[in-house]
Structure 1
Amino acid sequence: MIDHLHQTDVAIIGAGPTGLFAVFECGMMRLKCHVIDPLEMVGGQCSALYPEKPIYDIPAYPKIGAQELIDNLMTQIKPFHPEFHLGQQVMKLERTQGNRWMLSTDHGTTIVAKAVIIAAGVGAFGPNRPPLEGIENYEGQSIFYYVKSRENFRDKRVLIAGGGDSAVDWAISLAEVAKSVGVVHRRPKFRCAPESEAKLHELEKAGKIELLIPYQLEGLKGQGDQLDSVVLKSLEGEEKDYPCDVLLPFYGLAMNLGPILEWDLALHHNHIEVNPQSCATSLEGVFAIGDIATYPGKLKLILTGFAEGAHAAHAARAIAHPGETLHFEYSTTSGVLGIA
């Protein structure tokens, strides 16, 4: 492989929504950015896993699709001309003699940066697969862990398993196109936005969603790779068959930090510990934002990641241009590189 050497102000690891907004905030600080991501596309989970998922907690957008959010962020950062290195994983992070950070990827790319912002989300991700016998026979045909297009489920009998935001949001969305939607969960309380839970119960009362509580997945029945029904089991041991064409288990993602574990960062339960005031990690000049960062009181929201990106960008500028004073201005005053 040929080594490609780049010099920049800030290297951002991760091209999900938090990483992309960090590009904007760095641009407002007049910092040049290079962005590295192991996926072949920008957008992280939003683009790779659920591009049509509705998101309800982005300011000024009562509802926005995940891919639409990414497209808007790409438009927002275009004036700053960031350089992307996609389909590459950062393998090494090393301090240089010139007080810089050198990042080396598995494709032979080398980036020397004055500061680093880690916005790697959950790291390398994959679904938490429910322990059901023979589940692999149905995956990709009747069992899916992500929804890329809800049209794929039009007029289908859909069973969703889980109680988090993904399960509830997709239940609400698929109720508009599916023949039927059932949601199986072990407890009455859902781990989602209160408004979403209220909408879920509203659709239940209207007969558009069936809530199967308290039940959990017990087994699968079908022919070949096509499901006929899913066996559900109550906490008391009662079993029943629930007819369905599709099962969507939303039990979260398995987190794998990969090479990040070897970078001598202070970690807490596979998350990077940061100072919430600046998002600085235990390594000077390295910051972490988004779901991978942790501190007391942390809320795992895209909105939180956006704010952390602003904190990290301001702190990174002090490192990239030490001793240089930058008078803070609101974007409504300064504009974006002269764009009104």
Structure 2
Amino acid sequence: MPETLETDVVIIGAGPVGLFAVFECGMLRMKCIVVDALDAIGGQCSALYPEKPIFDIPAHPQIAASDLVLQLEHQAAPFDPIYLLGRRVEALRQEEGGFTLITSAGDTLRAKAVVIAAGAGAFGPNRPPLEGLPGYEAGGGVRYLVAKREAFRGKRVVIAGGGDSAVDWALSLKDIAAKVVVVHRRDKFRAAPETVAQMQAAAERGEIEMAIPYQLHGLDGDGTTLTGVRLATLKGEEKLVPADHLLAFFGLSMELGSIADWGLGLERSHIAVTPATCETNIPGIHAIGDIATYPGKLKLILQGFSEAAMAAHAIHPRVFPGEALHFEYSTTKGVPG
């Protein structure tokens, strides 16, 4: 049922950076509503690689993406954020004292500031042009992410792609799948050199089968249940690989959606911001995380965390005009009740 809600800050995007923005705003006594198109919090960490380890989070030599999201959710919980999931912000208009946003579910949100933490916008997988693909997607034979590693135990898995996702999951699934076949059109991979070397070593030991230089050519089965994947070379040589699952990792297609129509300063589908405040060309609208761009920007979660803190401090005067902000470390003031 559509809602009409008022808050201090609307955060668009419930990925790690958006969740940390809830915490940073909360530490400054600002209430947040978080809107995300996905049905669960966590963004790409939850949707694409929940079990994949992340190695560059401070104080965590290694942490699974899903565990990182869980900890961020717990960190934000004391500030009682409102999550509006499974919906997009379709419209935004400036009004005296702030902004009004309308979601795809018909919600009306009024806020004094907006933080766009939408990653690279709405995303979806690049699908291979194969006949009968939708039926096998519905049947679970063709997938574009691994939500639970255990789902592939004892299964015959074909992995297509040459990037980090393909290589990482080939290494991860080889220990539990009945068979793993990696399909790539050439012997050069775009993944991290260390993991590529690990995959090649696993192939030499017979733990992974490499199908190079092949491309996806077709799907075998009854239209719903997959039984095999047909491959072909550019020379027309074909072969059939028995398979229960095809994991196609050809990247994501990104769309800013309605955000592109809000008059923000866009640079190649990213939002230009002032580095010190992460404010866009529209006062009161800030962008953080992967969607934000400025000279020297690094697309790292930890930099997004820093941007969340800078944006929150820049927003404070809008929410509490005329009130001096006396900065204190969290170790001094704790978490406000």
Q: TM-score, normalised by structure 2?
A: 0.88
Do structure 1's residue 103 and structure 2's residue 101 form an aligned pair? Answer: yes
- Gapped regions of structure 1 (runs ≥ 5): none
Partner residue of 1:114? 112
CA contact (8 A) 1:54 1:169 kept: no
Q: Cα deviation per residue 1:84-113 (whole Å; 9 max; x = unaligned)?
A: 222332222111123x12222233432222
Provide closer, same or farther for how the CA distance between residues 206 and 299 of structure 1 changes in structure 2, counting only shifts above 3 A. Answer: farther
Provide closer, same or farther for how the CA distance between residues 195 and 219 of structure 1 changes in structure 2, counting only shifts above 3 A. Answer: same
* Number of matched pairs: 336
Q: Cα deviation per residue 1:279-299 (whole Å; 9 max; x = unaligned)?
A: 222211111122222334443
Greater displacement, 235-244 / 18-27: 235-244
Do structure 1's residue 127 and structure 2's residue 133 form an aligned pair? Answer: no
Do structure 1's residue 5 and structure 2's residue 1 form an aligned pair? Answer: no
SS in 2 for 1:19: helix
Partner residue of 1:310? 309
Provide closer, same or farther for how the CA distance between residues 313 and 198 of structure 1 changes in structure 2, counting only shifts above 3 A. Answer: farther
Partner residue of 1:28? 27
What's the offset of the Cα at 1:158?
Answer: 0.9
What's the offset of the Cα at 1:198?
Answer: 4.2
Residue identity (%): 60
Please list, as runs of the form range in 1=range in 2, the aligned pairs for 1:116-155 lying within 5 A after superposition. 116-139=114-137, 140-155=139-154
Q: Counterpart amino acid of 2:13?
A: G
Please list, as runs of the form range in 1=range in 2, the aligned pairs for 1:238-317 lying within 5 A after superposition. 238-317=237-316
What's the offset of the Cα at 1:189?
Answer: 4.1
Partner residue of 1:45? 44
Q: Cα deviation per residue 1:7-39 (whole Å; 9 max; x = unaligned)?
A: x22110111211101111222233221212233
- Gapped regions of structure 2 (runs ≥ 5): none
Partner residue of 1:76? 75
SS in 2 for 1:319: helix
Q: Distance in 1 between matches of 2:20 and 2:186?
A: 36
What's the offset of the Cα at 1:202?
Answer: 4.0
Greater displacement, 212-221 / 230-239: 230-239
What's the offset of the Cα at 1:49?
Answer: 4.2
Provide closer, same or farther for how the CA distance between residues 259 and 47 of structure 1 changes in structure 2, counting only shifts above 3 A. Answer: same
Q: Distance in 2 between matches of 1:316 and 1:46?
A: 27
Provide closer, same or farther for how the CA distance between residues 30 and 193 of structure 1 changes in structure 2, counting only shifts above 3 A. Answer: farther
CA contact (8 A) 1:159 1:182 kept: yes
Q: Distance in 2 between matches of 1:38 and 1:32?
A: 20
SS in 2 for 1:337: coil
Q: Cα deviation per residue 1:147-169 (whole Å; 9 max; x = unaligned)?
A: 22122111111111112232222
What's the offset of the Cα at 1:58?
Answer: 2.7
Provide closer, same or farther for how the CA distance between residues 331 and 237 of structure 1 changes in structure 2, counting only shifts above 3 A. Answer: farther
Q: Distance in 1 between matches of 2:211 and 2:296?
A: 32
Q: Distance in 2 between matches of 1:164 and 1:279?
A: 31
CA RMSD in angstroms, aligned pairs only: 2.6
Q: Distance in 2 between matches of 1:306 and 1:206?
A: 41
Please list, as runs of the form range in 1=range in 2, the aligned pairs for 1:150-161 lying within 5 A after superposition. 150-161=149-160
Do structure 1's residue 212 and structure 2's residue 211 form an aligned pair? Answer: yes
What's the offset of the Cα at 1:128?
Answer: 0.9
SS in 2 for 1:42: coil
Q: Distance in 1 between matches of 2:330 and 2:272?
A: 30
Q: Distance in 1 between matches of 2:105 and 2:226?
A: 41
CA contact (8 A) 1:156 1:179 kept: yes
CA contact (8 A) 1:217 1:231 kept: yes
Greater displacement, 304-313 / 219-228: 219-228
Do structure 1's residue 181 and structure 2's residue 145 form an aligned pair? Answer: no
Provide closer, same or farther for how the CA distance between residues 185 and 303 of structure 1 changes in structure 2, counting only shifts above 3 A. Answer: farther
Q: Distance in 2 between matches of 1:58 and 1:190?
A: 26
CA contact (8 A) 2:132 2:223 kept: no
Greater displacement, 329-338 / 165-174: 329-338
Q: Distance in 2 between matches of 1:20 and 1:337?
A: 17
